Amino acid sequence: MRKIMVCVKRVIDYNVRVRVKPDGAGVVTDGVKMSINPFDEIALEEALRIKERGEAEEVFAVSLGPDDAQQQLRTALAMGADRAVLVKHDSAVGPQVAAAAFLALVQKETPDLVLMGKQAIDDDAAQTGQMLAALWDRPQASAASKVEVKGETLVVTREVDAGLEVNEIDLPGVVTVDLRLNEPRYVKLPDIMKAKKKPLEVTDLGSLGVSAEEPVKVLKWEPPAQRQKGVMVADAAELVAALKNKGLI
């Protein structure tokens, strides 16, 4: 392979408790730690391992988001990506707009493989990879737990309810990855310093000819309802009576 494109998303760090804004217009992000979507970090690690095995020449990371997303792209560069591209857009976008933006980059960069996480932990949509493959008219494999390069094809293993499913797709193509694929490397300080000198291109949706018009709009955000306090029962009869009182049986 010549190029691998890895899509990374800026999300609230998974260790942070997410809070909904009082007006329900979104979630609180001011002063909140942000990081690379964990699934996308695994995708980047896999791309770097493919390159280190001599099966790819270049790995570049792309992201769609505000100017602050350069921080996550610099982390990707510190991990080992050769360069990065930020498609700047200040408001949140859905999978369809993201897929259209990534398609424009694919048509410009002509990568042999596009890797990304199977989902983002902020919206859990799990749609961008499949939409990109459809728009690109190329094969895709989802939720990969193992990826093997076999010349002009990829052998992708994924975990399903019945066990393991093995698929083979032609390149170029799109693969979304699962948590069990690998363990991302730890970024060291010297790598962070080197990343500052690596190229990071900034463009926008308009320059790519992509509209930010969303076919699906989020009307309101609400926090999950608080769980009710549990009730201790002495025996099965008391349990049945309690369920009857709540109208559950």
Q: For residue 116, is pLDDT > 90?
A: yes
DSSP class per residue in 158-180: EEETTEEEEEEEESSEEEEE-GG
- 48: how many CB neighbours lie within 10 A of its CB? 22
Q: What is the mean pLDDT of residues 149-164?
A: 93
pLDDT, tens digit, 9 for 90 and up, residues 38-96? 999 999 999 999 999 999 999 999 999 999 999 999 999 999 999 999 999 988 888 99
pLDDT, tens digit, 9 for 90 and up, residues 38-54? 999 999 999 999 999 99
Please report where in the chains the tokens 């969303």 appear, as a residue: 214
**Is the previous residue joined to 224 through a cis bond, with omega within 30 degrees of 0?**
no
Q: For residue 216, is pLDDT > 90?
A: no
State residue 163's pLDDT score. 92
99: closest CA among 77, 72, 126, 123?
Answer: 126
DSSP three-state, residue 65: strand
CB 39 within 8 Å of CB 142 = no
Q: For residue 26, is pLDDT > 90?
A: no
Q: For residue 213, is pLDDT > 90?
A: no
Q: For residue 219, is pLDDT > 90?
A: no
Q: Domain extents for the chain?
A: 3-245
State residue 227's pLDDT score. 81
Q: How confident is the model at residue 132 (pLDDT cuts 50, 70, 90)?
A: very high
Q: For residue 223, is pLDDT > 90?
A: no
State residue 37's pLDDT score. 96
State residue 182's pLDDT score. 95
Q: Domain spanning 3-245 has what CATH number?
A: 3.40.50.620
State residue 30's pLDDT score. 87
Share of the chain above pLDDT 90, in %: 76
CA dist 16 → 34, 130, 205, 211, 223 (Å): 9, 28, 30, 32, 15
DSSP three-state, residue 236: helix
DSSP three-state, residue 134: helix
DSSP class per residue in 181-220: G--PPPPPHHHHHHHTTS-EEEEETTTTT-----SS----
Amino acid at 83: R
Q: What is the mean pLDDT of residues 216-224?
A: 86
Q: For residue 197, is pLDDT > 90?
A: yes
CB 48 within 8 Å of CB 191 = no
Share of the chain above pLDDT 70, in %: 100
Token code pair at residue 119: 């989902």
CB 86 within 8 Å of CB 180 = no
Q: Which residues make beta-bridge pairs with 12? A: 34
Q: At what angle do helices 70-79 and 38-52 cross, to 10 degrees?
A: 30
State residue 1's pLDDT score. 87
Q: How confident is the model at residue 233 (pLDDT cuts 50, 70, 90)?
A: confident
Q: How confident is the model at residue 121 (pLDDT cuts 50, 70, 90)?
A: very high
State residue 131's pLDDT score. 96
Q: For residue 126, is pLDDT > 90?
A: yes
Helices and strands (H, E) in the chain, number of each type: 6, 11
Q: What is the mean pLDDT of residues 205-215?
A: 89
